[in-house]
Amino acid sequence: MTDRNADLFERAKTLIPGGVNSPVRAFRAVGGTPRFVQSAQGAHFWDANGQRYIDYIGSWGPMILGHGHPAVLEAVQKAAVDGFSFGAPTEREVELAEAIVELVPSLEMVRLVSSGTEAGMSAIRLARGATGRKKIIKFEGCYHGHADALLVKAGSGLATFGNPTSAGVPPEVVQHTLVLAYNNVAQLEAAFAEHGSDIACLMIEPIAGNMNFVRASVPFMKRCRELCTQHGALLAFDEVMTGFRVALGGAQSVYAKLIPGFEPDMTVMGKVIGGGMPLAAFGGKRAVMEQLAPLGPVYQAGTLSGNPVATACGLATLAQIRQPGFFDALAARTRSLVSGLKAAADAEGLPFCGDSEGGMFGFFLLPELPQHYQAVMKTEGAKFNNLFHGLLDRGVYIAPALYEAGFVSAAHSEQDIAETVAAAREVFRQLVR
Ligand code: KE4
C-alpha cells in the first residue's frame, strides 16, 4: 500500500522549502514523515492515508473548541457569503475589539493584524516609538515570532546583547535586543541597573509554551513589573499562545490573582483569537496605542487586518469559550491528561513531570519541572523522539519537538484521554527498557 503522506511530502519538497510552510511541521527534530492532514473533526484529524489521530496540537493552540465546531462553522460560512475582504472597516472588527477589551481588562485599545509575528513586531515598534527608546529585553527560550529584532539568542555568556539566530539578520538589527535567562531575577536587575533608561520594553511569554511549559515564577514576574515601572519601560505580555487558552483573561489574569494589582502595559495575542483563521492583535493603554498611525507617528498597516471572515471565526470562538464553566471543564480535562501520563510514567519508572494551565499543557522526561531554557534542554532528545513516534504509531499526535507545548480542546473526551494514557503507558514501558 502506498504511503500518501510520503508521496505528498516528496512532491511538496520539490516546490516548497522543506516541503512545509512552517519549519516545525517538517518533523526534522523528531525525524520521519510528516502527516498530511486531509480533514479534522472535534479532537481528531485524519491523514492522507485515512489514519485517525487524537490531536494535541490543534493548529498550535487556535482550535480550543476542537475542529469544526458547528456554531463557528456557521458563522464563517455566513461571513464568507457576505464577502471575503473589503479593505474597509466593518462592524465585526468593532465587535471583536469590544470583546477583547472586555475580556482583557489591562487593554484600553487593540489593533487587529494577521499573525502573531506581525503583532509582536508591531508591539515592539510601538513600544520604541512611544518611549523614544531603543533597547528591548527578551528571554532565552521565549519565541515571539520571526521579526528580525526578535530572532536573537543569548550571547556566549547570557545577558549579553543578542546574536542573530537566523541568517539574513544583520547584527546591527539585534544590537539593541538584550537576551536574559528566564526566571533569573539577578540578571534582570543587573540589566535594568545598566540599561534601564534606554529600555523601551520587556517582552515575555508569561507561561513559556516555546520551552514546552515553563511558568514565570511569581517573584520573577513581580520584579519584571516593578523594574519596568521604575525605569519607565513597557511590560509586554506575549499571550499569542496563552491568551484565551490558559484562562479566559489569559495568563495575565492568572498572575493578577497571585500578584495584587498586576497587569502588563501591552499584550500581544493570536491563535485562539482567530479560532484557526489568520487573525492576531496587539493592545495596551490608550496613551500608547494612540501613537499608532493614522493618529500618531508609529506606522503599522495590513491589507487583510481585521479580515471579515477571520473576525467572524474569532467572535464565534470567543462566544463559546466565555460560556460559564467552559474553562473549568477544559482545565479539568487537561489536568486529567497530565496526571494520567504522570501515573503511567511512574508505574514504568520513567522520569516524568508535567504541568498545565487551562487548556495548555507540557511535560518533560525529567525528574522535575525546568525553570529555564538550559534546564529544558537537558531532556534527552532521542528519548523524546522515541516517545513522539511511539505515540504517533498509536494514533496520538503531540508536538514534533520537545520544546513545544500541547493543547487540549473542549472536544477531547474522557475516552480520548484514556486512549492517550494507555498508548503512553505502552511507549513508556519501551523507553525504560
Ligand atoms: P505566528 O506568527 O506563528 O502566528 O505567531 C508567532 C508566535 C508569537 N508568540 C508566541 C508565544 C508563539 O508561540 C508564536 C507562534 N508559535 C508557534 C509554535 N510554538 C507556531 C507554530 C509554527 O511556528 O509553525
Mean per-residue pLDDT for 349-377? Answer: 96
Cβ atoms of 221 and 235 within 8 Å: the answer is: no
CA distance 340 to 344: 6
Catalytic residue, chosen from 271, 373, 397, 403, is 271
pLDDT digits (tens, 9 = 90+) for 306-361: 999 999 999 999 999 999 999 999 999 999 999 999 999 999 999 999 999 999 99
- Which one, of 204, 274, 214, 285, lies nearest residue 245 by Cα? 274
Residue 39's identity, in one-letter code, is S
Q: Is 143 annotated as catalytic?
A: yes
In this structure, the number of other CB atoms found within 10 A of the CB of residue 45 comes to 22
pLDDT digits (tens, 9 = 90+) for 56-94: 999 999 999 999 999 999 999 999 999 999 999 999 999
Helix, strand or coil, per DSSP, at residue 137: strand
Share of the chain above pLDDT 70, in %: 98
Catalytic residue, chosen from 47, 56, 135, 143, is 143
Q: Is 346 annotated as catalytic?
A: no
Helix 185-195 vs helix 218-231: crossing angle, to nearest 10 = 10
CA distance 371 to 383: 20
C-alpha cell at 276: 484557526
CA distance 2 to 54: 23
Mean per-residue pLDDT for 122-132? Answer: 98
* Top mutation candidate among 21, 240, 271, 376 for ligand 1, by most atoms within 8 Å of CB: 240
**pLDDT value at 257 more than 70:** yes
- Which one, of 239, 219, 242, lies nearest residue 362 by Cα? 242
Q: What is the dihedral of CA 97, 100, 96, 319, to 10 degrees?
A: -160
pLDDT digits (tens, 9 = 90+) for 260-280: 999 999 999 999 999 999 999
C-alpha cell at 25: 511541521
Q: Which of the four pLDDT bands, split at 50, 70 and 90, describes residue 1?
A: confident
pLDDT of residue 276: 98
C-alpha cell at 425: 503507558
pLDDT digits (tens, 9 = 90+) for 128-160: 999 999 999 999 999 999 999 999 886 555 455
Cβ 143 under 6 angstroms from ligand 1? yes
How far, in Å, from the CA of 315 to the mean position of ligand 1? 21
Which DSSP letter does residue 207 get? E
Taken as a whole, the chain contains a residue count of: 433
How far, in Å, from the CA of 325 to the mean position of ligand 1? 28
How far, in Å, from the CA of 61 to the mean position of ligand 1? 9
How far, in Å, from the CA of 350 to the mean position of ligand 1? 30
**pLDDT value at 163 more than 80:** no
- Which one, of 51, 40, 43, lies nearest residue 6 by Cα? 51
Catalytic residue, chosen from 238, 265, 355, 416, is 238
pTM: 0.97
Q: Is 403 annotated as catalytic?
A: no
pLDDT digits (tens, 9 = 90+) for 214-235: 999 999 999 999 999 999 999 9
How far, in Å, from the CA of 145 to the mean position of ligand 1? 6
Instruction: Locate the ligand 1 atom nearest the alpha carbon of residue 205 and give its number.
Output: 11
Cβ 117 under 6 angstroms from ligand 1? yes
Cβ 270 under 6 angstroms from ligand 1? yes
CA distance 202 to 127: 9
pLDDT of residue 156: 52
Which DSSP letter does residue 33 get? P
Give the DSSP H or E segment for 334: helix 326-347
Cβ 252 under 6 angstroms from ligand 1? no
pLDDT of residue 155: 55
**pLDDT value at 162 more than 80:** no
How far, in Å, from the CA of 81 to the mean position of ligand 1? 30
pLDDT of residue 433: 85
Task: For residue 206, give every residue at least 6 positions away whose Cβ sits within 8 Å of its Cβ, in sequence order, or none.
Answer: 215, 216, 221, 237, 238, 239, 242, 251, 252, 254, 255
* Top mutation candidate among 143, 148, 252, 277 for ligand 1, by most atoms within 8 Å of CB: 143
How far, in Å, from the CA of 336 to the mean position of ligand 1? 26
CA distance 351 to 367: 5
Instruction: Locate the ligand 1 atom nearest the alpha carbon of residue 405 and give its number.
Output: 19
Helix 70-82 vs helix 308-321: crossing angle, to nearest 10 = 160
The strand pair at 199-204 and 234-239 is best described as: parallel
Cβ 22 under 6 angstroms from ligand 1? yes
Cβ 263 under 6 angstroms from ligand 1? no
**pLDDT value at 290 more than 80:** yes
Whole-number mean pLDDT of the chain? 96
Q: State CA 385 to chain mean position distance.
A: 21
Helix 308-321 vs helix 91-103: crossing angle, to nearest 10 = 30
**pLDDT value at 208 more than 90:** yes
Instruction: Locate the ligand 1 atom nearest the alpha carbon of residue 145 and give its number.
Output: 6
